[in-house]
Amino acid sequence: MDAAEFRRRGKEMVDYVADYLENIEQRPVYPDLEPGYLRSLIPTEAPLEPESYEEIMHDVERVIMPGAASPACTELETVMLDWLGKMLHLPESFIAGTHGHGGGVIQGTASEATLMSLLAARCKTIRQILVTDSKKSESEILSKLVAYTSDQAHSSVERAALIGAVMMRKVPTDEHYAVREEMLRKMVEEDKAAGLIPFYFCATLGTTPSCAFDHIMELGPLCKSASCSQLQSLRLLMAGSSDGSI
């Protein structure tokens, strides 16, 4: 889109919004749609060729406008992140699909994404423990949770632990500034012996200070193994950055 078309389309968009407001009574007050309605209306894979502006606006009217803002945009986000997951050839477990437990959401910043993952892991771990030991209080469990990250990780990872009110331990790195399995395992075992509950590890791929990559092929299986903590596996977040571009 060149500057001239950008000017034209921008003005058309102002008209579109004004028309919407002027004629709002002709649209349904609340959509008569079921959750998941959008998935069947758009392709399951990302298009290989770009579409024209007219085609895109036609799709906005056909697919997005019949829904209320939040469900429609959330559904679009889920389907489009499946597109991205498929383009990256991620395993099926990362794809939302129609029944899946995977899928992605877009966060505003990398710091926010890290915080969300830590809070989600914290919530799941506490719930899991309460299922088997309902006598424990949430605050008692919270005081024992411990998260881990590389000593090279960005400060936002440590900040997520502060906001999430959990302990965070920095795992020492090797001569290439990368975390290895044995380093994390040692800390997890020490903490378990001290009665703490390891629940989260944030691996870094291309750390901000040194561009190092943690050894995730070794660390993934460690996090997955239930023996890693009393009840649950460590939840693994992979945070990537290279020279500040995330």
Residues of this chain that bind ligand PLP (CB under 6 A): 109-111, 154, 156, 208, 239, 241, 244, 246
Q: Which is nearer to ligand PLP, 44 or 109 (CB)?
A: 109
Q: Could you tell me the smallest distance in angstroms from the CB atom of residue 211 to ligand PLP?
A: 10
CA pair distance 96, 103, nearest whole angstrom: 4
Q: Which is nearer to ligand PLP, 111 or 233 (CB)?
A: 111
Q: Which is nearer to ligand PLP, 68 or 246 (CB)?
A: 246
Q: Which is nearer to ligand PLP, 93 or 109 (CB)?
A: 109
Q: Could you tell me the smallest distance in angstroms from the CB atom of residue 28 to ligand PLP?
A: 38
Q: Could you tell me the smallest distance in angstroms from the CB atom of residue 246 to ligand PLP?
A: 5
Q: Could you tell me the smallest distance in angstroms from the CB atom of residue 152 to ligand PLP?
A: 9
Q: Could you tell me the smallest distance in angstroms from the CB atom of residue 161 to ligand PLP?
A: 14
Backbone region of residue 244 per phi and psi (left: phi > 0; alpha: psi in -120 to 50; beta: other values):
left
Q: Which is nearer to ligand PLP, 152 or 233 (CB)?
A: 152
Beta-carbon-side half-sphere exposure of residue 91 (alpha carbons within 13 Å): 2
Q: Which is nearer to ligand PLP, 120 or 226 (CB)?
A: 120
Q: Which is nearer to ligand PLP, 130 or 205 (CB)?
A: 205
CA distances from 161 to 47, 64, 98, 115 (A): 39, 37, 33, 8
Question: What residue has token string 């605050």?
Answer: 139
Q: In this structure, what are the phi and psi dihedrals at residue 175, rounded to the nearest 5 degrees?
A: -65, -15
Q: Could you tell me the smallest distance in angstroms from the CB atom of residue 176 to ligand PLP?
A: 17
- In total, the chain counts a number of residues equal to 246
CA pair distance 76, 34, nearest whole angstrom: 14
Question: What residue has token string 């000593």?
Answer: 151
Q: Could you tell me the smallest distance in angstroms from the CB atom of residue 108 to ligand PLP?
A: 8
